[in-house]
Amino acid sequence: MHAGRRTIVVRSDGRPVNVARPRGQLFVCATGCCCGRTADGFAAVPTELYHHEWERRRLRDVVHLTIGGCLGPCALANVVLLLLDGQALWFHSIDSEALVLALYDHTEAMLEASGCLPAPPALAPYQFSAFAWQAPPAVSAP
Ligand code: FES
């Protein structure tokens, strides 16, 4: 399934660059119009915890971490998107440190299993689909 963890890409200046190809990428919305904006009544995004757990679990070379701006479905703040092994897994209302830890636990379980798994009970109510090409998961509420 995976053609290799690295690939050579030739830059516009002609220099070939050996580029890492991680298995996934975790996007955490923290600087958009809604997610994390406590002054506007939204829950804080524990960005330090995201980074600390990413380092502690040694995910740096496996799942890239991007903490940044708006991912689109702002009304569902706080939003994260996990791209992993060709799947796009969206989660909303990730408002507590316990949910961040559950998200990382789930990520590690899928890495171990070499493929996507159903979300565990702690996370399943927060998963949704936000792309037209995705089948929506069964509707549930936290
Ligand atoms: S501000 Fe977080 S998804 Fe738009």
Domain span including residue 29: 24-128
Q: What is the pLDDT of residue 78?
A: 98
How far is ligand 1, taken at its centre, from the CA of residue 76, in Å? 8
User: What local confidence, expressed as pLDDT, does residue 138 receive?
Assistant: 67
72 lines ligand 1 (CB under 6 A): yes
Strands (E), the chain: 6-10, 16-20, 24-29, 63-68, 80-84, 87-91, 127-128
Q: What distance in Å separates the CA atoms of residue 2 and residue 85, rounded to the nearest whole number?
A: 9
Domain-embedded: residue 4: no
Task: Note whether residue 34 is domain-resident.
Answer: yes
Q: What confidence tens digit (pLDDT) does each residue in 48-77 have?
A: 999 999 999 999 999 999 999 999 999 999
For residue 113, the model assigns a pLDDT of: 96
Domain count, the chain: 1
Q: Is the CB of 36 under 6 A from ligand 1?
A: no
* Residue 36 belongs to a domain: yes
- Pocket of ligand 1 contains residue 67 by CB under 6 Å: no
Ligand 1 centroid vs 37 CA: distance in angstroms? Answer: 10
CB 97 within 8 A of CB 112: no
CATH number of the domain that residue 92 is part of? 3.40.30.10
Domain contains 6: no
77 assigned to some structural domain: yes
Question: Is the model's pLDDT at 139 over the cut of 90?
Answer: no
Residue 42 predicted with pLDDT over 60: yes
Chain position carrying tokens 């979300």 = 119
Percent of the chain as helix, strand, coil, to the nearest 5: 25, 25, 50
Cα(31) to ligand 1 centroid in Å equals 8
Interval between CA 92 and ligand 1 midpoint (Å): 10
Q: How many CB atoms lie within 10 A of CB 47?
A: 15
Residue 142, pLDDT > 60, answer yes
29 CB within 6 A, ligand 1: yes
Instruction: Find the angle CA(46)-CA(94)-CA(100) to the nearest 5 degrees.
Output: 60
pLDDT tens-digit profile of 83-131?
Answer: 999 999 999 999 999 999 999 999 999 999 999 999 999 999 999 999 9
**Is 8 domain-assigned?**
no
Asked whether residue 45 is domain-assigned, the answer is yes
Any domain includes 18: no
